[in-house]
Amino acid sequence: MQRVADWQLAHPSTHDPATWTQCAGYTGFMALAAISADRRFHDAMLRMGESNGWKLGTEGSPYLADDHCVGQVYAELYLQHGDSAMIAPMRARFDWILAHPPNDNLSTDRSRNPDAGTGWWWCDALFMAPAAWLRLAKATGRHEYLDFMIQHWWQTSDYLYDPEEHLYFRDDRFFARREANGRKVFWSRGNGWVMAGLARVVQDLPKDNPSRPRFVRQFREMADRIVTLQQPDGFWRASLLDPASYPMRETSGTGFYVYALGWGVNEGLLERSRFEPAVIKGWNALLGSVHDDGKLVHVQPIGETPVHFDEESTDVYGVGAFLLAGSEVYRLVGGSRQAAISDRDGTPAFRVLAFFTAKEDQAHISFVHEAVRWFPQTAAEYNFRFDTTSDWRRLNQSVLSNYEVVVFLDTRPEDPAQRAAFQAYMEHGGAWMGFHFAGFALTPSAVPANWSWYHDTFLGAGSYVSNTWRPTSAILRVEDRTHPATQHLPETFRSSPNEWYRWERDLRRNPDIDILVSIDSTSFPLGTGPKPNEIWHGGYYPVAWTNRKYRMMYLNVGHNDIDYEHRFDATNRTLSYTLGNPVEDQLIIDGLLWLGNRANQAPRP
């Protein structure tokens, strides 16, 4: 996958950087970035967005779905980084569309429909636009974007979906056309767009949305038909019902089918015994279309119908389909460990929204940057969804209702309404994980002790009192070996370097608190100073705990060591990292899985 991606980066497409062809490629790069330890693919997408000024395409009218496509990538980056500039132009465009609804007539005949082209009139549009509208709804909490997507998806489906063949016509010009063998014309890549679009919609559609079962039903119905049309060599030909007339191998449609079917198997929506062999056969066919230098070939050029084409043809949208496919095959063959599957339909059992500020203290900023890379990769491995944001306005009932777990990476909310929303979320069964400075409160300071419920009742620790310096590794002792978050840990282990906190209250005296991990006495003296009070010589210091009245877990880790003294250079270089310690990582992962997997259960007694 990385070889194909590198070839594409070295041979950039000449298409408009915000158009649909590029967007399909970008979705593949984002899928690769989610499973690759190499950050260059993610960074390439960030540079793309910045270069585009986060603007949508401008090749057609404001309604053109092709021009909306890139918005789904912008929204995904926003959910990771929380920079509102990433979605501002898209919000402006979509708000304008909501205020000026498109013509619902999907006929392409301009003699009867002068405004033809303003709706989602062709099946490709179901990949281009819906995921952008849905992800913007997720990013902003505005249901209007979601409602628009659902309404227009089913308008297009009702118009172009053939209920007998369980396939989509490309547009209404193909209703009466027939192939050489007399069968209806169903274009492979066109239906590939729809299958991939369905996968991308279902994965982000709220579980309790009334339309979700209908989307799942259509996904399964199409999958049942598509799998029967795969050819013995693993490819789907350009014409699904007349493959003999178009014998060329074709990788773009095949890539989208491998992606969608693989995703369906991974999510438990499709029967593994039936669909996995087709996915593997298709992936092997795709691999056979990659040259040694990473060039992907057998990509049908831009078009709208089955055609003959040069077997050396390539294009960026084909690369996107290949990378999407590879990301699901990676999961399918063991590149991921599925951590949680819901009982109902096999979708990931929980979704996480992590809040951060990343404005104060380079040590905390460094941890946030580390975390927003590490957690999405971990989520891909363990099959949950992890979104991030620095927009604390999203700490509201509307947004939180879409997530089973909330994480505070480096601080807490200050706005009273946000605090009230979080308290209500926790008191009604929500789950939370907090790191290090998320537990800090001290009066007087910029973070005063002015939220009693959070610090005294929920965390139970009260105010911060003091800390060690400088960040130092400690031997940690597991206090509760029976808890799901700690049951895989050794009795003691060495932590990553950290600044350790002392608290106002003795958590051992609080019957609601279950201390999971504490600093072991063999760690003392702990800290290097230079101030004497920054070196601890004894005492009891909890590091991770839960509150039995809530589904929560706090960890006093997340302060990286920084070269404040510029001993190495003038960049405030990070000298140590929190994540990457296998035992400490396991504590975080198992804690998060415990929180997420218990999304419909009471807190642990």
Catalytic residue (one of 66, 124, 171, 387): 124
What does the block give as tokens for 347? 């979708």
- Distance, CA of 449 to CA of 38 (rounded, Å): 41
Distances (CA, A) of 132 to 41, 323, 351: 20, 19, 19
Helix, strand, coil shares, percent, the chain, to 5: 45, 10, 45
Q: Which helix (H) or strand (E) covers residue 162, if one does?
A: strand 161-162
Residue 559's closest CA among 411, 436, 419? 436
Number of H helices, E strands in the chain: 19, 13
Neighbour count for residue 428 (Cβ, 10 Å)? 10
Residue 561 annotated as catalytic: no
Is 217 in a helix, a strand, or coil?
Answer: helix
Is 493 in a helix, a strand, or coil?
Answer: strand
Is 66 in a helix, a strand, or coil?
Answer: helix
- Distance, CA of 583 to CA of 517 (rounded, Å): 12
What does the block give as tokens for 127? 């990949």
Name every residue whose Cβ is closer than 8 Å to that of residue 582 and which is 6 or more positions away in sequence. Answer: none
Residue 42's closest CA among 404, 400, 380, 496? 380
Whether 108 contacts 415, CB under 8 Å = no
- Distance, CA of 549 to CA of 551 (rounded, Å): 7
Q: Which helix (H) or strand (E) covers residue 408, if one does?
A: strand 405-408
- The CA R_g of the chain, rounded to the nearest whole Å, is 26
Angle, to 10 degrees, between the axis of helix 212-226 and the axis of helix 188-202?
A: 140
Residue 339's closest CA among 586, 544, 76? 586
Catalytic center residues = 124
